[in-house]
Amino acid sequence: FMGPPGAGKGTQARQIAEKYGIPQLSTGDMLRAAVKAGTDVGRKAKAAMESCGLVTDDIVVGIIADRISAADCKKCFILDGFPRTVAQAQALDSMLLERKLKIDHVIDITCDTEALVARITGRSTCAGCGEGYHTEHKKPKKAGVCDKCGGTLTTRADDNEETVRNRLSVYDQQTAPVIDHYRHKGAFKTVDGMQEMDTVFKNLCAIIG
């Protein structure tokens, strides 16, 4: 799944993963877990994530290469937030070729800039199960508590207006060109991420079905 910060990649990938029983590989989630655990990768990634820049290609390509070698990725997986540079897309092409895998769909979830900012600044995530919430679009029944598992809702360190605008400009400069890498390869589709979450989900299921 491609798309700018806040387009709904994580929200949708999570639901698709649940419906079809296939793993969601979010480089953002993996990097945040590495930072929290204080691993070598986490220490290297921390500064770039805090300054809204991208983590180096060798680190994220390494993470994905390890992850797609796991048993649960033998048949199918969803990439959420990777590849994010043309170099990452080229590295992915080679990794897939080596493993005799192919990309079935590249889906770009589009969204207006001001909506992206509003979505990200209102977002919270369950520390227990990872379920996402929003102050307006998806309120938990009890403030600060996850409806699904009762866990505590947390906000991401990079989710404030200033950092979001920086992330959007990094997206325009470094990630938007990745779309051209895939546009002519045949499997590229666009879904309007401005629609209700359920409608976006139905559109995605119709493509993936």
The one catalytic residue among 14, 32, 119, 167: 167
By CB under 6 A, name the binding residues for ligand AP5: 3, 5-11, 27-28, 31, 48-49, 52, 54-55, 60, 81-82, 84, 88, 119-120, 123, 132, 134, 137-138, 167, 193, 196-197, 200
26 closest CA partner among 11, 41, 44? 11
Pattern 5-44, Mg ion, x by CB under 5 A: -----x----------------------------------
Residues linked to residue 126 through DSSP beta bridges, in sequence order? 153
CA–CA distance from 87 to each of 55, 149, 158 (Å)?
13, 39, 24
**Number of residues this chain uses to bind Mg ion (CB under 5 A):** 1
Nearest distance, CB of residue 10 and ligand AP5, angstroms: 3
| Active-site residue, from 44, 138, 156, 165 | 156
Residue nearest to ligand AP5 (CB): 28
Nearer to ligand AP5, 42 or 193 (CB): 193
> Is 67 among the catalytic positions?
no
C-alpha pair distances (Å), 58 with each of 83, 113, 143: 12, 29, 40
43 counts as catalytic: no
9 assigned to active site: yes
For residue 112, the minimal CB distance to ligand AP5 (Å) is 11
Cβ distance to Mg ion smaller for residue 4 or 10? 10
Residues near 24 by beta carbon (within 8 Å), at least 6 away in sequence: 10, 13, 14, 16, 17, 77, 78, 80
What angle (nearest 5°) sits at the alpha carbon of residue 97, between those of residues 92 and 103?
65
CB of 19 to ligand AP5, least distance (A): 16
Helix residue ranges per DSSP H, the chain? 9-20, 27-37, 40-50, 57-68, 86-98, 113-121, 161-170, 176-183, 197-208
Which partner from the list Mg ion, ligand AP5, none does 42 bind, CB cut-off 5 to 8 Å by kind?
Answer: none
25 binds, among ligand AP5, Mg ion, none (CB under 5 to 8 A by kind): none
Sign of the Cα pseudo-torsion (37, 43, 47, 53, in order)? negative
Catalytic residue numbers read: 9, 84, 123, 156, 167
